[in-house]
Structure formats: C-alpha cells, structure tokens
Amino acid sequence: MDAETCRNADRKLCVAKIDAIDKSRPFSRALIDTYKRRHHYLRISLTKRCNLRCFYCMPEQGVKLTPDGKILTDEEVIRLATLFVQAGVTSKIRLMGGEPTVRKGIIEIIQELNKLRPLGLKSIAMTSNGLVLHRRLPSLIGNGLTHLNPSLDTLDTLDPFKFEFMTKRRGHEAVLKALDVALASPDLQSVKLNVVVVKGLNDSEILDFVEMTKNSAISVCFMPFTGNKWDKVKMVPSSVSKEMGHCLRMATHHPDVVRISDEANDTVWSWKVPDCRGVFGFISSMADHFCSSCNHLRITADGQIKLKKNPLIFCRTSLTFWKQEVSLRDEMRKGASDSDLLRIIGHAVSGKQEKHVHMEDINVVTNRPMILIGG
C-alpha cells in the first residue's frame, strides 16, 4: 500500500470518527437561532492590523486601531474556540484579520486549534492577503491548517501595476509565490482565491483568472463588491454574473462551461470548464439572499460577536437591551464561566435576522468597515 493510499485511508477513518462524535453529542441550543439555523462555522478575527491599504477595505481616512490590551489574547481566542466547538462548531473555524499573519503567535494559535479535533473540529482555515505567507505557510500547514483563502485583499489583479494601485503597496510577486506554495502543498485540502471585481478596473481580467483553473486544483471566487463606499455604479451585479450574461466573452472562449452543484451553505454560484482541474464561481451575498441556510458566526478581534441582526437585542434574563455587538471579551475578563458565556452567546444568536438588508440600506456611518470586522 503506497503512502497516498495510506493517507486516504487514515483520512476516511478520521472522518468516520468525527461523524460518530457528532452523532453522539447533541448540538447546543445556544447555536440555533429562531429560524432553526444551526451555526457550526465560526470566523475569528485575530487582529485589526493589515500590511496593505486596499481602497475597498480600508477607509481613506484610515481606522483607529484598538490598543493591544483590548484585543483577545491567545488564551481567550482558544477558550472561545473550545467553547464553540464543544457547543457544535465542528464544520470549520476560519482565522481572519485585518491580516492574520501579522499576529504574533499565529502558528501557536493554529497548533492549539488543532488539538480540538478530538472534540469534532473538522477544518482550520485562514484568509490571508498572502504578502508574507510563502515563508510561513509550511509551518502553518504542519501545525494543522487545512484550508486557505488567498486573498480577499490582494490578488484582485494579475497586473502588478494595478495591484499597487489597488493595495497602495508593492508585493505582487510575493503574493503569487504564496499562491504557488499553497497549490504545491498536498496537505492543504482547499485553496480558494477570492477576487474582488470592480467595474472598469479589473473586470476585464475575469477570463485570465478562469484560465488559472486549467492546470491547478484551485477555486476562484469573484466577489462583486466595492467595500466602504458601497458604490453600486462600480459593482458588477452578481445576478448578471450568475446567469453568465455578465460577460459574453466567457461563452465565446468557453462555450462548454457547465454549472456545478454548490454546498448547502455556500454563497458561490459555481461553474467549471470541462477538463480543467479547478472551478470558478461568483460570490453573490450582496445581490442575492442565501440566508436560509446561513451557518456562520463571527467574532471580532476585540471579542465582539458580529451578527446580521436588529440594532438591539432584548435579553429576557437581564431585562435590558444589548447593542448590535456583544462583548465576550468583557464578560471573560469579569470572570464569566463557560456556561455564562454560552448563555450570552445563545441570547446573541437568537437575535440574528432572517436575512441581510439590501445594499442600499447598509449604514456605512455606524457599521464597522471591512478592516475592523475581519476582512
């Protein structure tokens, strides 16, 4: 039996054991909202800092960074991750930023998350701009990283000059090198490249990105989004992309392109060119509702639960109104027990809205910009 066959056999055995654990342990009601959605996917922002200045993520005036003392410590991150996994977050934990690789101790955090596998955690993912990733990626993978998303923030163009314009920094070559390292890593289960599409800037490169799927097992996801200004004029409508009418060039160059099935909780409309190793799709969370099966929860770097919900939550226990973000950090530092935290999480999850508001209704004045909520 060769090494690859042994590895596949071990993986199947691990999956079977995890499935057995899932079936034997009840899912916590704290992670089930009023629309009966089970939340088994957690995103954790590790920092608000970033080594790039992408115009659609970072406001022109910049952001006021939170002092280090108010950011979750490594121990607090692991405590919350453990609590969520015990409650039912077994599908995936994704580490985000800012840029997570600028966080000191990122390797140790992944190492500790990897110890949660016996509790049922299946995947440890990270979203990174890739700027310094190629040097650290082998260690991250060796300590448990299974899924990588490079890069919501950087590789939105294959043109180094456009790259510098969009990010206000140099580093295009370094990002491409990180992508090559990721695709050459057999222990990474998935490499997804997120590309922000801005009309008139990089939408002409869609076919070039699709071409990347020819020889690489990569998933390229086009995101029709302009970020902090919410400029609908520059937004490429995903509803159009979804119907493949976004670009007749696609049909011209790839007339045999086929629609493929999506995962139950996925916001991507996926397509594949026959004989290509990879796939591509259009993330349409701003133009279409995929909320009925939403399974995501998010914790910001300063320990707030970020939810798409009403501005205030009425807590029947304390008879008070809670703001849109609930601070788990403050509760932990006041001495809250795990059962206390789980009760608070349950109250927050119960206030989650059925679906997000329309793009025109998003309040860009009071809502945090992308850089402050985890990419």
- Which of the two residues, 241 and 306, has the higher pLDDT score? 306
pLDDT at 81 over 70: yes
| Average pLDDT of the segment spanning 95-121 | 95
Give the pLDDT band (50/70/90) at residue 105: very high
> How are beta strands 325-327 and 92-96 bridged, if at all?
unpaired
pLDDT value of residue 366 = 46
Res. 360: pLDDT tops 60: no
Q: pLDDT tens for residues 182-202? A: 999 999 999 999 888 777 777
- Mean per-residue pLDDT, 2-11: 62
Point out the least confidently predicted range of 72-86, 135-149, 322-336: 322-336
Between 10 and 283, residue with greater pLDDT: 283
Read off the pLDDT of residues 153-175 as tens digits, 9 standing for 90 and up. 455 567 787 777 777 778 788 88
DSSP lists the bridge partners of residue 304 as 327
Residue 313's pLDDT is 38
Residue type, 67: P
Those residues whose C-beta lies under 8 Å from the C-beta of residue 274, and which sit 6 or more positions away, are 256, 258
Weakest mean pLDDT among 84-88, 106-110, 129-133: 129-133
For residue 240, is pLDDT > 90? no
Predicted pLDDT at 44: 97
Question: What's the whole-number average pLDDT of the chain?
Answer: 78
Tell me the sheet residues that pair with 313.
Answer: 322
Cα–Cα distance, 185 to 72 (Å, whole number):
30
Residue with tokens 């299974």: 146
Q: How confident is the model at residue 336 (pLDDT cuts 50, 70, 90)?
A: very high
The predicted-structure confidence for 116-133, as pLDDT tens digits, reads as follows 999 999 999 999 988 889
> Which segment of 180-189, 250-259, 328-337 scores lowest on mean pLDDT?
250-259
pLDDT band at 247 (very low <50, low <70, confident <90, very high): very low
Give the range among 15-29, 122-136, 315-329 with minimum mean pLDDT. Answer: 315-329
pLDDT the model gives residue 137: 94
Query: Which pLDDT tens digit goes with each residue over 137-155?
Result: 999 999 999 999 986 445 5
Tokens matching residue 231: 């400029």
| 3-class SS letters over the chain | CCHHHHHHHHHHHHHHHHHHHHHHCCCCHHHECCCCCECCEEEEECCCCCCCCCCCCCCCCCCCCCCHHHCCCHHHHHHHHHHHHHHCCCCEEEEECCCHHHCCCHHHHHHHHHCCHHHCCCCEEEEECCCCHHHHHHHHHHCCCCEEEECCCCCCCCCHHHHHHHHCCCCHHHHHHHHHHHHCCCCCCEEEEEEECECCCCHHHHHHHHHCCCCCCCEEEEECCCHHHCCCCCECCHHHHHCCCCCHHHHHHCCCCEECCCCCCCCEEEEECCCCCCEEEEECCCCCCCHHHCCEEEECCCCEEECCECCCEEECCCCEEECCEEEHHHHHHCCCCHHHHHHHHHHHHHCECCCCCCHHHCCCCCCCCHHHHCC
Q: Which pLDDT score, from 0 to 100, does residue 4 have?
A: 59
Q: pLDDT confidence of 12, banded at 50, 70, 90?
A: low
pLDDT of 257 strictly over 50: yes
- What pLDDT band is residue 180 in, cutting at 50, 70 and 90? very high
Q: Tell me: pLDDT of 337 over 90.
A: yes
Q: What is the pLDDT of residue 115?
A: 98
pLDDT tens column, 209-235: 888 999 999 999 887 654 444 455 544
Position 367 scores a pLDDT of 46
Question: Picking from 13-17, 105-109, 219-223, 371-375, which range would have the lowest pLDDT averaged per residue?
Answer: 371-375
- Domains in the chain with CATH codes: 3-297+355-373 (3.20.20.70)
